Amino acid sequence: TGLDITFSGCTQPSITVLSPNGGEVWPVGSTQAIKWNSNGAPTIMVDLVRPNYECHLTNGDVPNTGSLTYTLSACINGLPIPQGSDVKIKVMYRSNAVIVTQDQSDSAFTITSESRKLSPCNNLGDVNADGFVTEDDAEVVRQIVSGLRPASTEETRRSDVNASGTVNTLDVTLIRRYVTGLDITFSGCTQPSITVLSPNGGEVWPVGSTQAYSKQLSCLFDCHAGLRRANSSLPTGE
């Protein structure tokens, strides 16, 4: 009679995106895993989405396995991989090309071409010791903070990029900000400085005499001191 439109025994299809779910940083060209839970969705379609931009990661509807591994080189529909901090994953179940149910990342994440950077100082941020600071290092720190992996003394030192004395989620955020170019260094990096104490003006030094000079140095690497004329320049300090 049309008083009901379905039966209570009919389960409605559903999809819940698990990852990425907000805050991640994906370098262009990297291979990433997308995961979701679903019920009653035999096939799915996966897109990377930004406002007014849809990048297909599947060739139409494909069997639903609960995950997708994708290399961020190009979209299936020929578009370039979107870059920015406003990207989300959308997973859909369609029937006859009509969307039945869908879900997307709870919050936006970042895709960037700034994927490999040298440590700004003393190997900070290069937790996996591969010579670069990347999203992989942020993931290692996240696992350390979550208790998913133990950390050696050296890994702990490299992870504590803000020199707080502990490794926490802020270090994960700071590494990601450095990788994406939002920050140019870590707060745990001490800036080199030089302060000349003497001579400091007004002295008279005879040519051929032996004189003493003194200075205060704060250096991360090598400090070099020498005589210079007043109009010459040094990279830092005095």
Q: What is the CATH number of the domain that holds 184?
A: 1.10.1330.10
- The answer, yes or no, to whether residue 10 has pLDDT greater than 60, is yes
pLDDT the model gives residue 132: 85
3-state secondary structure at position 185:
coil
* Domain presence at residue 41: yes
| Domain co-membership, 168 together with 182 | yes
User: Using CA atoms, how far apart are residues 32 and 226, in angstroms rounded to an integer?
Assistant: 52
| Domain co-membership, 80 together with 163 | no
* Domain presence at residue 1: no
CB 112 within 8 A of CB 127: no
* Burial of residue 61 (number of CB atoms within 10 Å: 0-12, 13-18, 19+): middle
| Domain co-membership, 68 together with 50 | yes
CB neighbour list of residue 201: distance below 8 Å, 6 or more residues apart: none
Q: How far apart are the two ends of the chain, measured CA to CA in Å?
A: 92
Last residue of a domain, one of 112, 137, 158: 112
Beta strand segments in 40-117, E: 43-50, 53-56, 62-63, 67-71, 84-95, 98-104, 109-112
| Domain co-membership, 124 together with 172 | yes
| Domain co-membership, 96 together with 122 | no
- The answer, yes or no, to whether residue 203 has pLDDT greater than 50, is yes
Residue 233 structure tokens: 């320049």
Q: Tell me: the pLDDT tens digits for 23-57?
A: 888 888 888 999 999 999 999 999 999 998 999 99
pLDDT the model gives residue 94: 94
| Domain co-membership, 142 together with 227 | no
Q: Tell me: the pLDDT tens digits for 161-199?
A: 999 999 999 999 999 888 877 888 998 987 666 788 888
* Domain presence at residue 62: yes
| Domain co-membership, 28 together with 97 | yes
Last residue of a domain, one of 68, 97, 112: 112
User: Using CA atoms, how far apart are residues 233 and 35, in angstroms rounded to an integer?
Assistant: 56
- The one-character DSSP state at 72 is T
Q: Tell me: the pLDDT tens digits for 75-126?
A: 999 999 998 889 999 999 999 989 999 999 999 998 887 556 788 898 999 9
Count of structural domains, the chain: 3
pLDDT the model gives residue 235: 45
* Domain presence at residue 7: no
Which range (28-32, 140-144, 213-217, 231-235) has the least confidence? 231-235
| Domain co-membership, 167 together with 119 | yes
Identify the domain containing residue 220 by its residue range: 192-202+211-238
Q: How confident is the model over 119-139, as a mean pLDDT?
A: 89
pLDDT the model gives residue 198: 84
Residue 26: CATH number of its domain: 2.60.40.10
Q: Tell me: the pLDDT tens digits for 102-113?
A: 999 999 998 887
| Closest to 90 (Cα-Cα) out of 49, 33, 35, 43 | 49
CB neighbour list of residue 65: distance below 8 Å, 6 or more residues apart: none
Angle subtended at Cα 55 by Cα 52 and Cα 58, rounded to the nearest 5 degrees: 145
pLDDT the model gives residue 110: 87
| Closest to 16 (Cα-Cα) out of 101, 87, 94 | 101
3-state secondary structure at position 141:
helix
